[in-house]
Chains A and B, each alone.
Chain A
Amino acid sequence: MADTSDIRKGFKMLIDGVPYVVVDHQFVKPGKGQAFVRTRIKNMMTGAVIDRTFKSGEKLEKADTEERTMQYLYPEGDARVFMDTQSYEQLSLTDEQLGDNVHYLLDGTEVSVMLFQGRPIGVTPPTFVELEVTETEPGFKGDTSSNTTKPATLETGLQVNVPLFVNVGDKLKIDTRTGQYVERVKG
């Protein structure tokens, strides 16, 4: 059994049967009173972030989670199928579970799948992915420095703002943490 002294960023605990991960935490001790640990925690199933205060020393149940490297294979209805790169075991996550991360999945993309009690609950894509532009206004030759941007649609359906010089068919590097354009990849 863990207790509040184990709390740090990334610590995973079970509250009412739901796994939460600690996003931020602070030790507080009002005056001469009881000490507390104030936390901001994220529900690992829904992504919802809540504030929760624990009494210092309170017992906590560690969440039994596991991360495995898996490869994205193909869509199946409103779900996506992944394969464990070691055991070849396959499993699927719904688009709802994947949220914005569906936009970073290409055939063969390696992701880290989070499992809770053996069941998949979410994925972490690579920090950067390269995606091809399928739709955007024609580019302006020579305009490589301007701060003006235009919308573009990428092969996975992701919408990003890109510089004016980007054309259909270009490959772009995208930061999956922010969903933003980083640079054009020279082909």
Chain B
Amino acid sequence: MTTAADRALLATLELRATAFGAIRRFFDARGFIEVDTPAVVPCPGLDVHLSAFEVRDPKRGPVGWLATSPEYQMKRLLSAGAKRIFQLGRSYRAEEHGRHHEREFAMLEWYRAEASSDDVIADTEELVAFLAELLTNDGEALDFYAPPWVRLTVEEALRQHAGCELERLAEDEDRFFLTWAEQVQPRLGLEQPVVVTDWPPSMASLARIKPNGMADRFEVFIRGIEICNGFGELTDPREQRARFERDQAQRRATGAPVYPIDEKFLEALETGMPESGGNALGVDRLLMLLVGAESVQSVMPFPQERL
């Protein structure tokens, strides 16, 4: 006999299968090829606030970490000549758990060579509108997701929602993120999705710096929730190495584990990576929003607490 929990599980599976199939059709129709890169990597993301799960071989000890994102390997594919690639896989992050966080989550990441961040923002708008059409039949929801979405710079978002100037917050990252988390983010994307661009260069991560001095990085917010993070990619190996070294120093200073620098990724930049745009989107969060669920766990068949 099937219980209510069984029926909910089957509905979740159906939702995910429908969405995954649609995502693959979407990218296939646009000339992308699907790629798959390893889950266990020698160098996880170096961002100061990322924490990776260590993987151990029972005899040989540590062999690497679970990938916090497939970024380095996918960019190596761009250097090798791939033009349009996407991956619908999993990423893993330690020390993140809550209604919008699960240690293991479905990540959609895609790159376009010889393209800009604007091109992948357009992909994002079209993809989300396409999924909304498929998964909801509520006219209001379709209007909500219809492109083009509002664009705001970080400076404008801070001024509009927190009444403060980026200039005054930029030096103190903790205060920036506290203001962002408490006052700005909950108010972003309430009437329609919002694309936030022009991040401070200190938060550029793997993005290039634009002529105006800001990072070519964007995030999309829907109903106060961040669903993706994309870049006009940094292609300069020297600048990339300097940033990695800065990240390592910051990790050392805060007592966080200092992951090694991915030399193969830097070599790939040396041989030449084309100007590219890329984006990483949390699929569970997007599904949660599209079906009006309260948590990412409610659109996952086996979140941690039901394992």
Contacts and interface: CB of A to CB of B under 8 A. Distances in A.
A and B associate: yes
Interface of A: 25-38, 53, 55-56
Contacts of B100: 26-28
Contacts of B49: 29, 32-35
B142 to A, nearest CB: 28
A30 B182 CA distance: 10
Contact of A56 (B50, B95, B229): B95
A33 B96 contact: no
B219 interface: yes
B178 interface: yes
Kindly list the 9 A-B residue pairs having the minimum CB-CB distance in the complex, ordered from nearest: A27-B98, A33-B177, A34-B177, A30-B180, A36-B181, A28-B181, A30-B181, A32-B47, A30-B177
A28 B219 CA distance: 15
Contacts of B199: 31
Interface of B: 47, 49-50, 95-101, 173-174, 176-178, 180-182, 185, 199, 203, 205, 219, 226, 229
A33 B176 contact: yes
B204 to A, nearest CB: 9
Contacts of B180: 30-31, 33
Given A31-B199, A34-B174, 15 more contacts: A25-B98, A28-B181, A29-B96, A30-B226, A31-B219, A33-B49, A33-B177, A33-B181, A34-B173, A36-B177, A36-B182, A38-B181, A53-B181, A53-B182, A56-B95
Contacts of A53: 178, 181-182
Contacts of B203: 31-33
Contact of B182 (A25, A27, A38): A38
A32 B205 contact: yes
Contacts of B174: 34, 55
A31 B177 CA distance: 9
Contacts of B226: 30-31
Given A27-B101, A29-B49, A35 B96 contact: yes
B267 to A, nearest CB: 24
Contacts of A31: 180, 199, 203, 219, 226, 229
Contacts of B50: 32
A26 B178 contact: no
Contacts of A55: 174, 178
**Quick one: which of B98, B174, B178 has the most chain A CB within 10 A?**
B98
A35 to B, nearest CB: 6
Nearest to A56: B95
Contacts of A36: 177-178, 181-182
Nearest to B48: A32
A37 B177 CA distance: 12
Contacts of A26: 98-100
**Quick one: which of B96, B100, B181 has the most chain A CB within 10 A?**
B181
Given A34-B177, A38-B181, A53-B178, A27 B47 contact: no
B185 A28 contact: yes
